[in-house]
Structure 1
């Protein structure tokens, strides 16, 4: 069907040399299976086993011995402590986070405490110059190579100390360079490069043009700040895999209970919650989500979704540009359409049916239009390295030219609310960033690849509001937009 323009491996390699990688390397390495996210794994592979194709036996040995040495498992904690207390310097690759405990009513200055979540080590000492050099360690944390030794405090008590840290973070992204690179590709070539960089095979027959656009809509919360969206899909479409692997500024929380302190602010420990810490927070398996106290959650959540700020009693306002993504499973009928097409959120927890809350989401991604994931759909071409790709997407947030383009080329024909308008312009701006980062495009291309899908995302919300609440009957059932 589309083999008349095969994937351009050599072009990708030539234009993005240092930032590209053969996507077969990662699945062949087995690093994802031991819990190493792609943005770290590809970085390591490029360092210790650069090349193309499946890993050779020698490369496998190299990767395995690194994994055995440097990637601790949960039950390695005591063994590592023992080695360190024996006087060994121990190196590992993991995520490191630092917090400064709340001021207690004492004169002593609070010492920063470092934690290594994978080992459940929560109160390590850390050399202060490391913090000065990498302030991002505070709160969210960074992945990198951590060197441990021990320190002895005044009371003669041993403690684990972090004496060295070498982060994995690609340097500042040059968006002008990235936009110039885009102009070397045709639309199809670039679209397939983006798709491959997400880890998916653009040449798989299951992914038609339509499906590709809906897969790209998963990137909108990364490229647009405060972009709140839901994806409803049957099980098995790989909804959360991308978010779990793309960047350390994206956090996925799966099902179960979620509390206000975890989401917003923990008054007891002084830790800022997920929405104030990450660039994107993803709540997975929302259909099985319970809130400890829904009323305590919905108020601050509505405020946050509306204006990017929230407060907890007695503490200063926290403003954040974190995007909130909700992923939920829904049932499909025999024709692969949602069973409750006129009420897509019928099976979600009751608080989602509050229209004031729904109205604050930019859209619903129609996950039922994305094929179920099978292993043959894994990318095997040359794509962008995940750490570079994730950093590019997140740094596009700050660029306002795309929103201005959307605003000046979009004509709202039916009467729409200000929220409809903003949501559609933000989605269209996001598609522009993903597909046309150099803003070289015709209005026809804008209509087809950016505005139409942006309208459909919002129409899925608007249709719900229209059916659930008479207040929305002042607008027509269908949003109609065109280019100008």
Structure 2
């Protein structure tokens, strides 16, 4: 057990479970994760291995005896008949039979209908009237000669969800964890190994939880297939409902005029639309109009009295093209159906989560550590919907006064959601607040920048905030920094029409900062094509950066290069060193000789392996025209990370060569492992100075 797992069990005893146990008990039972963890929470919420083993067997036995497989429905029906009463785990829905003036339940897997339900049960669990709810139920069989009476009777029913939670105790326990520990605990709670994700990637995963803590929050995530976009909404919480984008109707979603019954938005905290993208798909225009009104005003009407609801909307779908293609030829919403590729609809989205930054889910990304029983966390998040943290950023920062009220509301709702998830106890520092504020601003800016492409009547908004020092700090999106030549293409064309300036298609928009006289490429920290002094910051999760682009112009023609980096220790870090050497070999002329010398620190955990790997670089360079040498700095290199070439240049890096996120694929291939330009980076800066 890791130190974090021990700490989790110490402060949340009884409310956490080892996450790999779900696979151990699931077998071929097609049930949501929260159902399995509900059962595991009853019997395995401990760190005692013997109790866990016993609990697993108990849960397996419960599933074996009571979970209804469709293929075994006839056998279970027979058991109910023979025994007169039987307990089942199934998805249950209830409808009113107006002819008999009675409620009747349907058991999906068991395959029985018209099960008699008393009014008290329906009043206690109204969600049963809207859609299927996973329940533990006792079903009776009493045959009657009266054909009008069903032999099936629902005796008792208990929706699978935890009862009350101690919210104050939750906040108190939160204060015992550092921010990094808490984020890792949340990542393990949704099933992921924190070590497989960078800081920004973790925050993007946690953004998926915002609809569960914020009322009437609208978020969209579009990206490649297989990144787990719908997992949170289908498996995580009994308060969320995932529906296929093509299966929704006005009566199902909002209100049925024939009986006045409210739809999904009245009963669920989150309604998620899966497979929402697809240009070939069509949508009912009336549905789109009602959705737009609800997303803007939290209310809807179908010719009767207006009705209000609190459900948040989450839209998830797959993109057909990569980001540069979309930016060059259309916009980042291009995959939406025509009826939803509408500026009024898009403007009502509070945040656009960049799904292309989320890695494809693989087996090695799942955790075997401890996390909250998802149903416990779901109840906490539901309680947090009553809170409002939107004003907390104003303690430290002020958002641009030039943005619209809708933009401001979107940013504050995203901020409120992130603060509820990560800092429910209000323990955030100014630096931590700024990190979340930048993410919230960026998520809304992504929406607004694409609106500007789709509808030119929307103004170009300057997204910035002001810190305590009074300094303006502008926001750019990662794709804006990565592909400025395409991101600002439309504005560049309009500027050309107005000014007839001589500008090539690949030139970025030049914007004069009002605080300086220098013209800089907006949002761009480029790989230098020639050696120039300067300082550049690079945002986490962007791609396209290579050692050749970053260092090549500065080491061109060098005969000696000194690399100082105290953390060339682990395999992937030494691999980075090898890739730097390979870059030098490709750059130099075949007849030239170059000496590369590394000064680093010893890996106290496995210095023998470190020596072997570094010596293997020495051997690999034999006959290449590059002589590689290395040494441990006995006096300590501190945290200095520099590259000095006898060309007269010194390169200072806060991360040294360790600019890429560590690879996690254990077998097979990925472009990120083969080509640096496809590898996600960590956030870092680089400074070029004359030595």
Query: C-alpha distance in 2, partners of 1:25/1:140?
Result: 28
Shift of 1:363: 1.2
Describe the shift of the 1:266–1:121 C-alpha distance in structure 2 as closer, same or farther (beyond 3 A). Answer: farther
Query: C-alpha distance in 2, partners of 1:431/1:311?
Result: 31
Query: C-alpha distance in 2, partners of 1:209/1:72?
Result: 41
Contact 1:414 1:479 in 2 (8 A): no
Among 393, 410, 413, the alignment partner of 1:423 is: 410
Q: Does 1:396 align with 2:384?
A: yes
Larger Cα Rg: Structure 1 or Structure 2? 2
Runs of 5+ in structure 1 lacking a partner?
1-5
What's the counterpart of residue 225 of structure 1? 215
Query: C-alpha distance in 2, partners of 1:266/1:371?
Result: 40
Contact 1:233 1:367 in 2 (8 A): yes
Q: Does 1:214 align with 2:204?
A: yes
Describe the shift of the 1:174–1:339 C-alpha distance in structure 2 as closer, same or farther (beyond 3 A). Answer: farther
Q: Deviations along 1:385-420, whole A, 9 cap, x unmatched? A: 1110111112111112x1231355441226111110
Q: Deviations along 1:210-250, whole A, 9 cap, x unmatched? A: 11111111011111010011001111111111221111210
Q: Does 1:12 align with 2:1?
A: no
Shift of 1:277: 2.5
Query: C-alpha distance in 1, partners of 2:111/2:255?
Result: 21
1:411-450 mapped onto 2 (5 Å cutoff) = 411-413=398-400, 415-448=402-435, 450=436
Contact 1:200 1:377 in 2 (8 A): yes
Contact 1:338 1:368 in 2 (8 A): no
CA RMSD of aligned residues (A): 2.7
Q: Does 1:361 align with 2:349?
A: yes
Runs of 5+ in structure 2 lacking a partner?
469-691
The secondary structure found in structure 2 opposite 1:229 is strand
1:52-71 mapped onto 2 (5 Å cutoff) = 62-71=58-67
Describe the shift of the 1:137–1:285 C-alpha distance in structure 2 as closer, same or farther (beyond 3 A). Answer: closer
Query: C-alpha distance in 1, partners of 2:43/2:178?
Result: 33
Query: C-alpha distance in 1, partners of 2:140/2:294?
Result: 42
Shift of 1:289: 8.1
Describe the shift of the 1:168–1:56 C-alpha distance in structure 2 as closer, same or farther (beyond 3 A). Answer: closer
Query: C-alpha distance in 2, partners of 1:127/1:100?
Result: 11
Among 32, 38, 50, the alignment partner of 2:33 is: 38
1:146-225 mapped onto 2 (5 Å cutoff) = 146-151=137-142, 155-156=146-147, 157-204=149-196, 207-225=197-215
1:80-479 mapped onto 2 (5 Å cutoff) = 80-86=76-82, 88-101=84-97, 110-131=101-122, 133-134=124-125, 137-139=128-130, 142-151=133-142, 155-156=146-147, 157-204=149-196, 207-268=197-258, 271-288=261-278, 294-313=284-303, 315-333=304-322, 337=323, 339-341=325-327, 343-400=331-388, 402-407=389-394, 409-413=396-400, 415-448=402-435, 450-473=436-459, 475-476=460-461, 478-479=462-463
What's the counterpart of residue 3 of structure 1? none
Q: In the comparison of the two structures, how many residue pairs are matched? A: 463
Give the structure-1-normalised TM-score: 0.87
The secondary structure found in structure 2 opposite 1:124 is strand
Query: C-alpha distance in 2, partners of 1:62/1:182?
Result: 31
Query: C-alpha distance in 2, partners of 1:406/1:123?
Result: 53
Contact 1:258 1:290 in 2 (8 A): no
Contact 2:269 2:310 in 1 (8 A): yes
The secondary structure found in structure 1 opposite 2:326 is coil
Shift of 1:56: 8.5
Q: Deviations along 1:456-480, whole A, 9 cap, x unmatched? A: 110110001111212212x43x411
Shift of 1:45: 2.1
Contact 1:25 1:55 in 2 (8 A): no
The secondary structure found in structure 1 opposite 2:209 is helix
Contact 2:281 2:337 in 1 (8 A): no
Shift of 1:453: 0.7
The secondary structure found in structure 1 opposite 2:275 is strand
Shift of 1:346: 1.2
Describe the shift of the 1:270–1:468 C-alpha distance in structure 2 as closer, same or farther (beyond 3 A). Answer: same
Contact 1:258 1:292 in 2 (8 A): no
Contact 1:243 1:250 in 2 (8 A): yes
Q: Does 1:482 align with 2:460?
A: no
Contact 1:84 1:160 in 2 (8 A): no
| Greater share of helix | 1
Shift of 1:257: 4.1
Query: C-alpha distance in 1, partners of 2:83/2:306?
Result: 45
Contact 1:97 1:137 in 2 (8 A): yes
Shift of 1:323: 0.7
Contact 2:46 2:52 in 1 (8 A): no
The secondary structure found in structure 1 opposite 2:22 is helix
Q: Return 346-355 or 289-298, whichever deviates more.
A: 289-298
Shift of 1:318: 2.9
Describe the shift of the 1:374–1:29 C-alpha distance in structure 2 as closer, same or farther (beyond 3 A). Answer: same
Describe the shift of the 1:77–1:256 C-alpha distance in structure 2 as closer, same or farther (beyond 3 A). Answer: same
Contact 1:359 1:461 in 2 (8 A): yes
